[in-house]
């Protein structure tokens, strides 16, 4: 009683239109109807302002994000900001203005898929395992889970699309291999390097572009030309209107060449991050250009989830994913970035470190969580903060506060602070590990590499006075403790 979802296109079972995949398109008609999938897509030409697609590019983002602003220029439907800063789609249905978030639109597709699955299986669907682009950050992953909740589904697990595709490829294989999964989907592009040993997958690296995919060009079959035939798309007093034309393969390849070239750099970076050379890749997926796109569409979805058991994927640690795209850490004395989790850390994972107070009698500390590669927090991204109170008064350096970073299998970050004496604890869930675009992440990594020596020197200038202050405090404490043993001259 579970289903899998891949946002564009979505795959579940044969629909009443004879399709295995459902286009992630939602349309609102002047009569108040809500169309989902192929019916919505077919009428888009005559109802473009109220036919919404590519909403995966909005999910988990803010209206002010550059990616959202860029996409708005090319979409025929209207995007407006909500009161909380998130983008929403405004449409007109039955003569009234209506507003929908990306989560609501995604839930509409999920609901349609659930209904299709229930009809196919003749049983009620309660659970789902959802696949998302590997480069989705925590906010986008959580928003996708929220869409499942809105649709009335219990989302058991969020799986990276390349990982799901690799499972379809090799879950029955016992040999060891290094696999490259090239996933140019409907709205996003992912490249992942995975290592498989005895059916267990480890994602060595991930790269991609969350704004490159099928919405940037129409996917054609491998024939030399394709016929574009849209009969009866509309009608007027003179009768029905049709579109019937041809596009040559050579024309198409020339048009999309710049888009294809955009996938090359992420591939090179993924190989570099994984420490793998191109000739060390044993297999790639897809391994050939398929005559039908259906094979690729299905691989990350039910082909894996239903054939191998959705609960197996939801409950067993059969694979892991490199989802910590940048280092995570906290601010310590002097504005230093103390890193607890390094970039590309395999998740799920948990890491703890003990810290102490910087002043005598200090009863609270502010825990500031940052993401980035630089040595000082001022050069990194603040994710969130909370005040940990209730520390027993003591000389500085005596209290023991344990800070724990816990990233679950879905990539959601939880930060815990615990006093080692009283066992009092407090936590914070990071709703978004970044809110950063792909280019922001690449720039932060590049800057860290460029300024490595400078940053280390700046960090040293801060740490040395801290060390001197610590030595002075320890010396003063020792002198006070043993003052009875010292003579009047201090010897």
| pLDDT tens for each residue of 143-171 | 888 888 888 888 888 887 777 776 666 65
The contacts found for 83-90 with CB under 8 angstroms, 24 or more apart, are 86/61, 86/62, 87/58, 87/61, 87/62, 87/63, 89/52, 89/55, 89/58
Please tell me the predicted confidence (pLDDT) of residue 416. Answer: 93
Please tell me the predicted confidence (pLDDT) of residue 163. Answer: 72
Provide the token pair at 117: 């699955």
Helix (H, G, I), strand (E, B), or coil: what is residue 238?
coil
* Angle between helical axes of 438-450 and 452-481 (0-180°, round to 10): 70
Lookup result for tokens 């892991």: 320
What's the maximum distance between 2 C-alpha atoms anywhere in the chain? 113
Residues 356 and 399: their CA atoms lie apart, in Å, by 5
Peptide bond connecting 59 to the previous residue in cis, omega within 30 degrees of 0: no
Contacts of 221 (CB under 8 A, 6+ apart): 291, 292, 293
Pairing of strands 319-324, 200-209: parallel
Provide the token pair at 491: 């010897």
Contacts of 409 (CB under 8 A, 6+ apart): 157, 158, 317, 321, 347, 348
Please tell me the predicted confidence (pLDDT) of residue 170. Answer: 60
Task: Answer for the pair 68, 58: CB distance below 8 angstroms, yes or no.
Answer: yes
Task: Answer for the pair 303, 296: CB distance below 8 angstroms, yes or no.
Answer: no
Lookup result for tokens 């590669």: 373
> Side-chain half-sphere of 481: how many Cα atoms within 13 Å?
6
Task: Answer for the pair 134, 160: CB distance below 8 angstroms, yes or no.
Answer: yes
DSSP string of 379-435? Answer: GSEEEEEEEEE-PPP-STT---EEEEEEE-TT--EEEEEEETTT--EEEEEES-S--
Please tell me the predicted confidence (pLDDT) of residue 301. Answer: 45
Q: For 48-187, where are the E strands, in sequence order?
A: 51-52, 78-81, 87-93, 96-101, 127-132, 154-160, 177-184
Residues 266 and 406: their CA atoms lie apart, in Å, by 28
Lookup result for tokens 């006075």: 465
As beta bridge partners, residue 100 has: 89
The pTM for the full model equals 0.59
Helix (H, G, I), strand (E, B), or coil: what is residue 462?
helix
Provide the token pair at 39: 């019916």
- Residues 37-55 have pLDDT tens digits of 888 988 888 899 999 998 8
Chain centroid offset of residue 385 CA: 21
DSSP secondary structure code for residue 5 in this structure: E
* Distance linking the first and last C-alpha atoms of the chain: 80
Domain 2-322 architecture? 2-Layer Sandwich (3.30)
Please tell me the predicted confidence (pLDDT) of residue 318. Answer: 45
Query: What are the residue ranges spanned by the domains of the chain?
Result: 2-322, 325-469
Q: Which CATH class is domain 325-469?
A: mainly beta
* Angle between helical axes of 138-150 and 102-121 (0-180°, round to 10): 50
Peptide bond connecting 254 to the previous residue in cis, omega within 30 degrees of 0: no
pLDDT per position in the chain (491 positions), as tens?
Answer: 434 444 345 555 445 555 557 788 999 999 889 999 888 988 888 899 999 998 888 988 899 988 899 889 889 999 999 998 999 999 999 889 999 999 999 989 988 888 888 888 888 888 888 888 777 777 788 888 888 888 888 888 888 777 777 666 665 565 778 888 888 776 678 888 888 776 667 778 888 887 777 666 644 443 444 555 555 555 566 766 656 666 677 777 777 788 888 888 888 988 988 888 988 888 776 654 444 444 445 444 444 444 344 444 444 444 444 455 678 899 988 888 999 988 777 777 889 999 988 888 999 999 999 988 888 888 888 888 899 998 999 988 889 999 999 987 767 788 999 999 899 999 888 754 444 555 655 665 666 566 667 767 776 776 676 666 666 767 777 777 767 766 555 55
- Give me the phi and psi of 132, to 5 degrees please: -135, 160
DSSP secondary structure code for residue 484 in this structure: G
Contacts of 467 (CB under 8 A, 6+ apart): none
Residues 428 and 369: their CA atoms lie apart, in Å, by 10
Lookup result for tokens 């009698």: 361
As beta bridge partners, residue 389 has: 364
Residues 212 and 106: their CA atoms lie apart, in Å, by 19
CA 115-121-126 angle, to 5 degrees, is 55
Best CA proximity match to 10, nearest among 298, 308, 306, 313: 298
Length of the chain in terms of residues written: 491
Q: Is 175 exposed, middle or buried (0-12, 13-18, 19+ CB in 10 A)?
A: exposed
């Amino acid at each position: 009683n579970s289903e899998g979802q891949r946002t564009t296109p979505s795959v579940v079972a044969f629909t009443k239109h004879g399709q295995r995949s459902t286009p992630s398109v939602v349309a609102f008609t002047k009569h108040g109807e809500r169309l989902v999938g192929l019916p919505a897509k077919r009428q888009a030409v005559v109802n473009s302002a109220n036919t919404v697609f590519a909403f995966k590019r909005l999910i988990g983002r803010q209206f002010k994000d550059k990616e959202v602003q860029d996409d708005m220029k090319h979409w025929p439907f209207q995007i407006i900001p909500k009161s909380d800063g998130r983008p929403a789609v405004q449409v007109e249905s039955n003569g009234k203005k209506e507003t929908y978030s990306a989560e609501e639109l995604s839930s509409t597709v999920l609901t349609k898929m659930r209904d299709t699955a229930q009809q196919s299986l003749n049983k009620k669907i309660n659970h789902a395992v959802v696949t998302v682009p590997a480069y989705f950050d925590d906010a986008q992953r959580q928003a996708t889970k929220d869409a499942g909740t809105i649709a009335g589904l219990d989302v058991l697990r969020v799986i990276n699309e390349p990982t799901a595709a690799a499972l379809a490829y090799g879950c029955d294989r016992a040999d060891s291999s290094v696999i490259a999964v090239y996933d140019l989907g409907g709205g996003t592009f992912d490249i992942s390097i995975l290592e498989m040993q005895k059916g267990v997958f480890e994602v060595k690296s991930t790269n991609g572009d969350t704004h490159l995919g099928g919405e940037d060009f129409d996917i054609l079959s491998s024939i030399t030309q394709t016929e574009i035939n849209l009969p009866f798309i509309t009608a007027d007093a003179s009768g029905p209107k049709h579109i019937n034309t041809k596009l040559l393969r050579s024309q198409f390849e020339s048009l999309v060449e710049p888009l294809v070239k955009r996938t090359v750099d992420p591939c090179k970076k993924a190989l570099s991050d994984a420490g793998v050379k191109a000739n060390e890749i044993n297999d790639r997926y897809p391994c050939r250009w398929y005559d039908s796109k259906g094979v690729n569409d299905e691989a990350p979805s039910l082909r894996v989830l239903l054939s191998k058991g959705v609960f197996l994927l939801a409950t067993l640690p059969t694979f892991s994913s490199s989802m910590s795209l940048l280092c995570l850490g906290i601010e310590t004395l002097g504005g230093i970035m103390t890193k607890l989790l390094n970039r590309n850390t395999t998740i799920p994972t948990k890491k703890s470190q003990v810290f102490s107070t910087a002043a005598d009698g200090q009863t609270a500390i502010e825990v500031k969580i940052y993401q980035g590669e630089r040595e000082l927090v001022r050069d990194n991204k603040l994710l969130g903060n909370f005040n940990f109170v209730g520390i027993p008064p003591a000389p500085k350096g005596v209290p023991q506060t344990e800070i724990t970073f816990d990233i679950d299998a879905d990539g959601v970050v939880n930060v815990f602070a615990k006093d080692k004496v009283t066992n009092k604890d407090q936590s914070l869930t990071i709703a978004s590990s970044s809110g950063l675009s792909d280019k922001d992440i690449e720039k932060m990594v590049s800057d860290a590499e460029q300024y490595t020596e400078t940053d280390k020197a700046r960090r040293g200038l801060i740490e040395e006075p801290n060390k001197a202050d610590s030595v002075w405090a320890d010396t003063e404490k020792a002198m006070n403790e043993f003052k009875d043993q010292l003579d009047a001259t201090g010897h």
